[in-house]
Structure 1
Amino acid sequence: MQISDKIQQLDLFQLFKPNLVTIKTKFTFLDLFAGIGGFRIPLSELGGICMGYSEIDKEAIKTYQKNFVTDPDSNELFLGDITNINQLPFDIDVIVGGVPCQPWSIAGKLKGLDDPRGKLWLDVFRVVELNKPKAFIFENVKGLTEPRNKGSLNYIISNLTTLGYVVKYQVLNSYDFGLPQDRDRIFIVGIRNDLENCWGFTFPKPLDNKIKLCDVITGIQKSDFVKKKFSPKILFEGGKVPASRGRFQKVDELNDFFTFADIRDGHTTVHSWDLTETSDREKLICKVILKNRRKKIYGPKDGNPLSFEVLEKLIPNLDPQELDSLVQKEILRSVEDKGYEFANSKISSGINGISKIFLPQSNAIATLTATGTRDFVATVSLECQEPELYKQSFIQKIYLPYKFKPLTAQDYAKLQGFPESFQIADSETTGKHQFGNAVSVPVVYNLAKVLLKFIL
């Protein structure tokens, strides 16, 4: 039995725990913006007792209660909308919550504290001030740390500090805590400043146990071939490494995923003209448009339509019918009075409903979101290690025979570190929405484990 087979038979929630010592001391916590319990699961495992939870999403409440509130005689309070919470009739050691992130998310409208959801921080401040917990943990998107939101982050930290807390924050990635998901989130931690060890807290270090997609998602193949190393001159045109490459894109290895996009390029970027029958001449035309569409001499946008007059200077002996042929093949489209651009002009939309396909041996899939993704996982591995043949081999062996699968709600649960016993919403769409909104369980577990040492 391969290691991946063994891991698939384990509860992933148990997988990240072997090297950790569970704290037995009981403590109380309040679960704000509770969602489906991403904070509650690890805190309960660490000995915490939930005294109350706050949530307004009806479907999330159903899932939360189905999993955690099963005793009709429980004294646990359902607190509803945070705007109605004031001083509670009991003491709280820790307050936690994933404060709505849309105001600072690139998927939202970026209104920050001007967004009604951004103003919920005022309710957070009020609840903390009235109940004076020993500590708190609040989670949000990484966008809150970006320069455009510096004022908002400073405002939040300043207010929490004024309430009598030593406040620290750090961006943590789910991959560093045992999940094959590239998910950056900011965690804001505060310890009441009258506690003896309030200044000693530091964020947890990344764990050593790194796993791959094939170790978590069932029904996909794993191969243990050794990847070749290459000079950047071989993998990148002119040997220049693009500045936009992510954490899981090595400069000396072939990528473990393929991006479907006409407006970007790279050794694992699949274009429309790779998937539709096109001549070498048509491919040349597309590549010329790709190379020049972002040049400022042709317009102010980050991607401009190119007129026939411009293109005939860039492509010798260009015939208008050649462009019309690419329009008919739905690779290009004609923009009135402006010229030609790619029909597939948004990376998020991908091509034919596909944004990315990750190989089974990928270290991490892209961030799961509440709105869903167009990301898929190949069900078979790709052992080709020849840069010039890599993309075509992928198209022939994986894309065309449809040897890839969409992520299911159960896959989402595993990629977020929820236990196997967790009862998922009946609707696949609802389930994926809820897990996309959730906090990664192992991240909270490791963070809270450190924090509790300073308050108990």
Structure 2
Amino acid sequence: MKTLEAVQLQLPLNLAVHSSRFTFIDLFAGIGGFRIALNNLGGSCLAYSEIDKEALKVYQANHLSYLNQDEISLGDITQVDQLPTGVDIVVGGVPCQPWSVAGKLKGFDDPRGKLWFNVISLLAKSQPKSFIFENVRGLASPKNRENLEFLIQQFEQIGYRVYWEVINAYDFGLPQNRERVFIVGIHQRIKGHDQYRFPAPLKTNPRLLDILDPKQFDLEPIEKVKLDPDILFGGVIPPSRNRFQKDDELNDFFVFSDLRNGHTTIHSWDLIKTTAREKMICLTILKNRRRKQYGEKDGNPLSYDDLSQLISGLKVEELEALVEKKILRKTVEPKYEFVNSKNMSGINGVYRVFLPTSTTLPTLTATGAKDFIATRSIHGDNPEDYKRAFLTQIYRKGKYLPIVAKHACRLQGFPDDFKYHPREEVAKKQFGNAVPVPVVEFVAKELLKVLLI
């Protein structure tokens, strides 16, 4: 265990610390998103904690220099007994998997969820003036709300006034639909501890093309047409649409999936030669596969007898032809289901393609997704023409690029000169785990006003 005495003996004695506006400790540091934001505001880091070796290499390469090479590396937070005292702000992105929909939602039953208790214990002993922690939106979901309230109670019991809010990175200048819970605590000994306010959205309306290299893209001005929602959705607007999807405009992205049927969904039967009747058979399976009369699964295979009641004059040979084309596969019963049976897997290695004029990309994640960016824009007066233009002008001509680490770096607000991991997949994973730099900067700026720093 690292004792307080050991920590104090290792405190760096350099001009950067003494001339700084404030000091901070960077827990669960990752590759340093919190640190960049706080350094931008004039802060100096006294110590950092990170156990991932690859993240640590990137962190140290970017943030440690001859001025602060003696800065404390705390290592595993579970092995730290106490933090330095007199610190202005403690920050960190406590591991989010226990609360994430992408994880198993085990909460405090997950060992990573228990890390919150290590944090609370360290804060209780060192009593910093304040803290900022970040986590996935799932922590504030109805399922986990009791856990969030429990954490707040624990912070209050050790002397802090606590504030929390779900903040979207898009609202602070990044073209990414990334919602995260930010928890700010101010010690009650601080005058004005009850005066904190989260920053208001900037209303800058960023777009995807803001992070792109214009030399790689053919961007002609495209005026979007307004369409009746009945034309786009057949009279039923899906409840899953987010704030960036307008109900009277064509989507700025295309989804490759045999399990959906939106106006910008690309099916496997759109990509290979199929007859109008074959398309109709596939759509019939798509529309009926979730009906409970065919099984209790979220999506059920259908037998020939099932389908013959839905499709007039259906022949087994027609289903077998779709099996031959690898659109359908036959189960042991035998029944028929789509070969492409997982949404996130997409089709032919592609899940989503976003137009460069898109308002935003979905949340970057550590696991990543098979997402691409089109290198040109398209126009369509109706859904059919729009989909046809995408297939002929973008997909079939290969006019799309994968989202790479350079894009992820900008999507998270890291500077262009940031030295990310040399392995592309590792770099994208690290950016997916990172905190959006501008959001931290604005949240911290409001905190500094209360601390009178």
- TM-score, normalization by structure 2: 0.93
Q: Which residue number in structure 2 is paired with residue 57 of structure 1? A: 52
Alpha-carbon distance between aligned partners in 2 of 1:110 and 1:119, rounded to the nearest angstrom: 13
SS of the residue 2:261 aligns to: coil
Aligned with residue 39 of structure 1, among 29, 34, 41: 34
Q: Which residue number in structure 2 is paired with residue 199 of structure 1? A: 194
Alpha-carbon distance between aligned partners in 2 of 1:225 and 1:280, rounded to the nearest angstrom: 31
TM superposition shift of 1:387: 2.2
Taking the TM superposition and a 5 Å limit, the aligned residue runs for 1:290-309 are: 290-309=286-305
The answer to whether the aligner puts 1:320 opposite 2:300 as a matched pair is no
Q: Which residue number in structure 1 is paired with residue 385 of structure 2? A: 389
The Cα offsets for residues 80-131 of structure 1, whole Å up to 9 and x where unpaired, read as 1111223234421101000001111122122111111111111111111111
Alpha-carbon distance between aligned partners in 2 of 1:278 and 1:212, rounded to the nearest angstrom: 36
The Cα offsets for residues 237-292 of structure 1, whole Å up to 9 and x where unpaired, read as 1x211111122211000000000111111110000110011111100000111111
201-210 vs 392-401, greater mean Cα deviation: 201-210
1:66 maps to a residue whose letter is A
375-384 vs 87-96, greater mean Cα deviation: 87-96
TM superposition shift of 1:338: 5.6
The answer to whether the aligner puts 1:92 opposite 2:79 as a matched pair is no
1:151 maps to a residue whose letter is E
The answer to whether the aligner puts 1:370 opposite 2:366 as a matched pair is yes
> What RMSD in Å do the two structures reach over aligned CA positions?
1.4
Number of residue equivalences: 432
The answer on whether the counterparts of 2:98 and 2:106 sit within 8 Å (CA) in structure 1 is yes
1:267 maps to a residue whose letter is H
Q: Which residue number in structure 2 is paired with residue 5 of structure 1? A: none
The answer on whether the counterparts of 1:223 and 1:361 sit within 8 Å (CA) in structure 2 is no
Structure 2 unaligned blocks of 5 or more: 1-18
The answer on whether the counterparts of 1:94 and 1:135 sit within 8 Å (CA) in structure 2 is yes
Aligned with residue 119 of structure 2, among 124, 137, 148: 124
2:122 maps to a residue whose letter is V
Taking the TM superposition and a 5 Å limit, the aligned residue runs for 1:248-287 are: 248-287=244-283
TM superposition shift of 1:222: 2.5
TM superposition shift of 1:221: 3.1
Taking the TM superposition and a 5 Å limit, the aligned residue runs for 1:166-205 are: 166-205=161-200
1:200 maps to a residue whose letter is Q
TM superposition shift of 1:38: 0.3
Give the percent of matched residue pairs that are identical in Structure 1 and Structure 2: 54
1:118 maps to a residue whose letter is G
SS of the residue 2:92 aligns to: strand
2:227 maps to a residue whose letter is F
Taking the TM superposition and a 5 Å limit, the aligned residue runs for 1:396-407 are: 396-407=392-403
2:350 maps to a residue whose letter is I
Alpha-carbon distance between aligned partners in 1 of 2:328 and 2:194, rounded to the nearest angstrom: 59
The answer on whether the counterparts of 1:369 and 1:437 sit within 8 Å (CA) in structure 2 is yes
SS of the residue 1:348 aligns to: helix
TM superposition shift of 1:226: 2.0
Q: Which residue number in structure 2 is paired with residue 337 of structure 1? A: 333
SS of the residue 2:200 aligns to: coil
Q: Which residue number in structure 2 is paired with residue 68 of structure 1? A: 63
The answer to whether the aligner puts 1:109 opposite 2:110 as a matched pair is no
Q: Which residue number in structure 2 is paired with residue 431 of structure 1? A: 427
Alpha-carbon distance between aligned partners in 2 of 1:310 and 1:87, rounded to the nearest angstrom: 66
SS of the residue 2:273 aligns to: coil
The answer on whether the counterparts of 1:201 and 1:454 sit within 8 Å (CA) in structure 2 is yes
Alpha-carbon distance between aligned partners in 2 of 1:413 and 1:175, rounded to the nearest angstrom: 15
2:361 maps to a residue whose letter is I
Name which structure has the greater RCO, CA cutoff 8 Å, separation 6+: 1
- TM-score, normalization by structure 1: 0.92
The Cα offsets for residues 194-226 of structure 1, whole Å up to 9 and x where unpaired, read as 222111112111112222111211122323322
1:223 maps to a residue whose letter is E
The answer to whether the aligner puts 1:158 opposite 2:158 as a matched pair is no
SS of the residue 1:147 aligns to: coil
Alpha-carbon distance between aligned partners in 2 of 1:441 and 1:104, rounded to the nearest angstrom: 22
Structure 1 unaligned blocks of 5 or more: 1-23
Alpha-carbon distance between aligned partners in 2 of 1:270 and 1:305, rounded to the nearest angstrom: 21
1:353 maps to a residue whose letter is G
Aligned with residue 223 of structure 1, among 216, 220, 224: 220
Alpha-carbon distance between aligned partners in 2 of 1:443 and 1:220, rounded to the nearest angstrom: 28
Q: Which residue number in structure 1 is paired with residue 43 of structure 2? A: 48
Q: Which residue number in structure 1 is paired with residue 143 of structure 2? A: 148
Alpha-carbon distance between aligned partners in 2 of 1:275 and 1:117, rounded to the nearest angstrom: 43
The Cα offsets for residues 164-195 of structure 1, whole Å up to 9 and x where unpaired, read as 11111111111111011111111111111222
TM superposition shift of 1:332: 1.0
TM superposition shift of 1:304: 1.0
The answer to whether the aligner puts 1:243 opposite 2:243 as a matched pair is no
